[in-house]
A and B are shown apart, each in its own frame.
Chain A
């Protein structure tokens, strides 16, 4: 599971998740994927 999907799963743990909070969390996770740019496979790990 990708980190993005994993984080969204965490947010929906309840039977009745708050859709507005989930929307905010999705926006945050979108920013997450923009801010945390992962190295490509050919870049060396530090």
Chain B
């Protein structure tokens, strides 16, 4: 039993959080028993300088990103942050809540973005002062109060789960940048070079930005290298941290290129303030979008820092994609459709190449066949030239049917988290892919589509898989519309009259998961169904 007075609606919110699998955060009301008003919070932030607060926020973000996550290290890290950022009595209460597992998290990335926005809007101008750090702990705890209130404003836990997961994905893509960056380099640069439509990507990028796409990506690497691998606060407190970016770019010969790239990645305090102030600020969003566009802040005194290191990772890896997307979206000749369908084609080729490499020479028994092989082996009814799936992995007694897709939920939806709009977009973009997998299962069973060596009577398990370029939020609530559209799992006749094969639930596998599986399958001969069956909640088929 807590010895603090906690409002009943707050306790209810915490219970809902736990039910929907969201980590609960330590809040100012946990510590003080009451919530700070917006005016009180603004006044606290206004006692410090914007530059001083942003330095601390950048420091925490860099440490959180670079220190590997594990349940044990994570709790120690969170307790250490409380001791570092809060007064002794407040830190004691925060630590107690974390150690006794009544709460899970004190500092986190979404909270840091909210704090950065407050610092920019209400912090004082001028050079950072040593006292600036004194207020940050209280500010971060108070932001946790307001974030939890926003996230759980829906009375329905199902709607809450959708909103929280969408907003989370909208803020951070949660993929490893070292996979994201080469993947998009392949899709937008190397694969595009010799393609009739793709070869226009590079000139389109230059016309939109005034910078070559490869120079853009290279400067992103340059910025990232300044903060990669820093895992201890003492490394960040030195002058080297504050001078990290400017020290590196001063060494580049082409300073005009430096300035043009800097404008694509960074903004100063005034620029951010303008973006956050109506009429520039959207009423629907708290302004984090601007941090996604410009993850670096230029502070007075020639210091450039990442407001959020994960957002810098994403801007470095996917920034070129979104700049091209925006360029083609504004094209009145429906260029966006051409752009997305070309990237979709490249992704299908990219993943097919990956699967061919994985299964061509591996020690296992499974083999992959792409769409062209399926067409060449099949004799579908007249008028049916395209199989309803893009590839198949054929094992001894199993097949994995793969449909590939680049469907993405819109940025607006990921900002608002609106459950009704989510339902509309999922039905329009993703459910049809699940329906294609249903069709693929039925039409292979009827013999319409074949693959070299496929004998239906030997197949005991069928695994439909949707392979996605863009991450899909995976919670039970966001999974539900896909599950409803999927053919009911169970025993079905497959190539005969008796119930001979087990159809499983479809699964989503993201590009990053395929990339991580490739060396594992090649090295060990591991079978994909074995990996998939080890996923939590999957029962071994009888």
Hey, which bits of chain A sit against chain B, CB under 8 A? 3, 6-7, 10-11, 13-14, 16-22, 24-25, 27-29, 31-32, 35-39, 43, 45-46
Least CB separation from B520: chain A residue:
A16
Contact A19 B182 (CB under 8 A): no
Q: How far is the CB of B349 from chain A (nearest CB, A)?
A: 13
Given A10-B228, A16-B519: A28 in contact with B221 (beta carbons within 8 A):
yes
Contact A36 B252 (CB under 8 A): yes
Please measure, in the bound complex, the distance between the C-alpha atom of A17 and the C-alpha atom of B519, giving whole angstroms.
Answer: 7
Contact A37 B253 (CB under 8 A): yes
Please measure, in the bound complex, the distance between the C-alpha atom of A4 and the C-alpha atom of B124, giving whole angstroms.
Answer: 40
Contact B357 A20 (CB under 8 A): yes
Determine the chain A residues whose CB is within 8 A of the CB of B443 once the complex forms.
Answer: none
Please measure, in the bound complex, the distance between the C-alpha atom of A41 and the C-alpha atom of B375, giving whole angstroms.
Answer: 60
Contact A13 B178 (CB under 8 A): yes
Please measure, in the bound complex, the distance between the C-alpha atom of A40 and the C-alpha atom of B508, giving whole angstroms.
Answer: 50
Q: How far is the CB of A8 from chain B (nearest CB, A)?
A: 10
CB-defined A-B contacts under 8 Å, sample of 7: A10-B228, A13-B178, A24-B185, A25-B182, A28-B181, A31-B217, A35-B218
Determine the chain A residues whose CB is within 8 A of the CB of B523 once the complex forms.
Answer: 16
Smallest CB-CB A-B distances: 5 pairs = A24-B182, A16-B519, A35-B218, A32-B218, A37-B253
Q: How far is the CB of A27 from chain B (nearest CB, A)?
A: 7
Please measure, in the bound complex, the distance between the C-alpha atom of A27 and the C-alpha atom of B186, giving whole angstroms.
Answer: 10
Q: Please, what's the 1-or-0 string for B180-203, where 1 marks a CB less than 8 Å from any CB in chain A?
A: 011101100010000000000000
**CB-contact partner of A45 in B179, B228, B251, B516, under 8 A:** B251
Contact A18 B516 (CB under 8 A): yes
Please measure, in the bound complex, the distance between the C-alpha atom of A29 and the C-alpha atom of B267, giving whole angstroms.
Answer: 26
Determine the chain A residues whose CB is within 8 A of the CB of B252 once the complex forms.
Answer: 36-39
Q: How far is the CB of A21 from chain B (nearest CB, A)?
A: 5
Q: How far is the CB of A17 from chain B (nearest CB, A)?
A: 7
Please measure, in the bound complex, the distance between the C-alpha atom of A45 and the C-alpha atom of B253, giving whole angstroms.
Answer: 9
In the assembled complex, B250 has its CB within 8 A of some CB on chain A:
yes
**CB-contact partner of B178 in A3, A11, A38, under 8 A:** A11
In the assembled complex, B518 has its CB within 8 A of some CB on chain A:
yes
- Residues B68-85 near A (CB distance < 8 A): none
Please measure, in the bound complex, the distance between the C-alpha atom of A19 and the C-alpha atom of B467, giving whole angstroms.
Answer: 21
**CB-contact partner of B218 in A10, A17, A31, A39, under 8 A:** A31
Q: Please, what's the 1-or-0 string for B118-142, where 1 marks a CB less than 8 Å from any CB in chain A?
A: 0000000000000000000000000
Contact A39 B253 (CB under 8 A): yes
Q: How far is the CB of A44 from chain B (nearest CB, A)?
A: 10
Contact A24 B190 (CB under 8 A): yes
Determine the chain B residues whose CB is within 8 A of the CB of A32 once the complex forms.
Answer: 218, 221-222
Please measure, in the bound complex, the distance between the C-alpha atom of A29 and the C-alpha atom of B516, giving whole angstroms.
Answer: 21
Given A3-B225, A16-B519, A28-B217: A37 in contact with B181 (beta carbons within 8 A):
no
Determine the chain B residues whose CB is within 8 A of the CB of A22 once the complex forms.
Answer: 182
Dominant secondary structure at the A interface: helix
In the assembled complex, B515 has its CB within 8 A of some CB on chain A:
yes
Please measure, in the bound complex, the distance between the C-alpha atom of A19 and the C-alpha atom of B518, giving whole angstroms.
Answer: 9
Please measure, in the bound complex, the distance between the C-alpha atom of A7 and the C-alpha atom of B219, giving whole angstroms.
Answer: 13
Please measure, in the bound complex, the distance between the C-alpha atom of A6 and the C-alpha atom of B252, giving whole angstroms.
Answer: 18
Q: How far is the CB of B251 from chain A (nearest CB, A)?
A: 5
Contact A36 B219 (CB under 8 A): yes
Please measure, in the bound complex, the distance between the C-alpha atom of A40 and the C-alpha atom of B357, giving whole angstroms.
Answer: 42
In the assembled complex, B354 has its CB within 8 A of some CB on chain A:
yes
Determine the chain B residues whose CB is within 8 A of the CB of A36 once the complex forms.
Answer: 218-219, 222, 252
Least CB separation from B221: chain A residue:
A32
Q: How far is the CB of B79 from chain A (nearest CB, A)?
A: 26
**CB-contact partner of A20 in B178, B214, B215, B354, under 8 A:** B354
Least CB separation from A44: chain B residue:
B250
Least CB separation from A9: chain B residue:
B229
Contact A35 B178 (CB under 8 A): no
Known: A10-B229, A28-B221. 9 other contacts (CB 8 A): A14-B519, A18-B179, A18-B519, A21-B178, A21-B183, A21-B515, A24-B186, A39-B252, A43-B253
Please measure, in the bound complex, the distance between the C-alpha atom of A13 and the C-alpha atom of B66, giving whole angstroms.
Answer: 13
**CB-contact partner of B519 in A13, A19, A24, under 8 A:** A19
Given A28-B185, A36-B252: A21 in contact with B179 (beta carbons within 8 A):
yes
Given A10-B178, A27-B190: A35 in contact with B214 (beta carbons within 8 A):
yes
Please measure, in the bound complex, the distance between the C-alpha atom of A17 and the C-alpha atom of B357, giving whole angstroms.
Answer: 14
Please measure, in the bound complex, the distance between the C-alpha atom of A3 and the C-alpha atom of B249, giving whole angstroms.
Answer: 13
Contact B255 A21 (CB under 8 A): no
Please measure, in the bound complex, the distance between the C-alpha atom of A22 and the C-alpha atom of B182, giving whole angstroms.
Answer: 8
Determine the chain A residues whose CB is within 8 A of the CB of B183 once the complex forms.
Answer: 21, 24
**CB-contact partner of A25 in B181, B218, B229, B253, under 8 A:** B181
Determine the chain A residues whose CB is within 8 A of the CB of B515 once the complex forms.
Answer: 18, 21
In the assembled complex, B254 has its CB within 8 A of some CB on chain A:
yes
Contact B251 A39 (CB under 8 A): yes
Q: How far is the CB of B508 from chain A (nearest CB, A)?
A: 20
Please measure, in the bound complex, the distance between the C-alpha atom of A43 and the C-alpha atom of B516, giving whole angstroms.
Answer: 44
Contact B178 A25 (CB under 8 A): yes
Q: How far is the CB of A26 from chain B (nearest CB, A)?
A: 9
Q: How far is the CB of B237 from chain A (nearest CB, A)?
A: 22
Determine the chain A residues whose CB is within 8 A of the CB of B181 once the complex forms.
Answer: 25, 28
Please measure, in the bound complex, the distance between the C-alpha atom of A35 and the C-alpha atom of B249, giving whole angstroms.
Answer: 13
Determine the chain A residues whose CB is within 8 A of the CB of B214 once the complex forms.
Answer: 31, 35
Given A18-B515, A36-B218, A39-B251: A7 in contact with B225 (beta carbons within 8 A):
yes
